[in-house]
Each structure stands twice: as C-alpha cells, then as structure tokens.
C-alpha cells in the first residue's frame, strides 16, 4: 500500500489501519497463549460384567502381526495345540498372558 501526499485523511487512515492490525496481532497472540484453566476432565466408568477378556496365548509372526489368539486354561491350550506351539518361541510373559513368536 503506497500513500502519497500529506493530507490528514490519508495519515489518519494509515494510523487507523496500523492500529487495527496491531490489535488483531495482539488478540491472536493472546488467544494462542496457554491458559491457567484445566483443559479437560477425564471420567472413567466401569460396569461390572463387561470386562474384556484378554487372550491367554497370542501367536505373532516376525512382523508382530497377530496370527492367533487362544482363550482359556493355558495347560489345556498347550495340550491341545502342542504341535503348533513347538514351532514358537516365548517373546513376552505377563501374569497369565503370553505372546509367542512363530519361528517355523
């Protein structure tokens, strides 16, 4: 924007434009500042009887993609799928849950 001449109207308009732009910049800067008020409140509701059952044994391939999930008693699973589990190696064990890597 180019202003020529020395009229008071043009100088006043320029001053008003500069003032308006500085107010917009100031308000935008203040809006981006973090506030002291909490942003969100987390509410956790548990309903009995709807707990998700996690698999007892999980088989994964070399890319860690889940190939099989077994639910129930670990001893029964190992007995029923002994031939399959011989082709795996234990990767992770936590409580009664195990993750096996399929090696063959």
Look up residue 32 and give its two tokens.
Answer: 């981006």
List of residues 6+ apart from 66 with CB closer than 8 A: 58, 59, 60
| 20-58 pLDDT, tens digit each | 666 656 655 555 556 666 667 666 666 666 556 788 999
Distance between CA atoms of 97 and 55, rounded to whole angstroms?
7
| pTM recorded for the entire structure | 0.50
């Amino acid at each position: 924007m180019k202003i020529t001449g020395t009229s008071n109207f043009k100088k006043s308009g320029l001053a008003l434009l500069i003032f308006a732009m500085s107010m917009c910049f100031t308000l935008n800067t203040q809006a981006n500042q973090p506030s002291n008020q909490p942003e969100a409140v987390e509410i956790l509701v548990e309903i009995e009887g709807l707990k998700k059952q996690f698999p007892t044994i999980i088989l994964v391939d070399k890319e860690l993609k889940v190939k099989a999930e077994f639910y129930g008693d670990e001893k029964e699973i190992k007995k029923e799928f002994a031939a399959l589990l011989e082709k795996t190696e234990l990767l992770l064990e936590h409580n009664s849950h195990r993750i096996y890597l399929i090696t063959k």
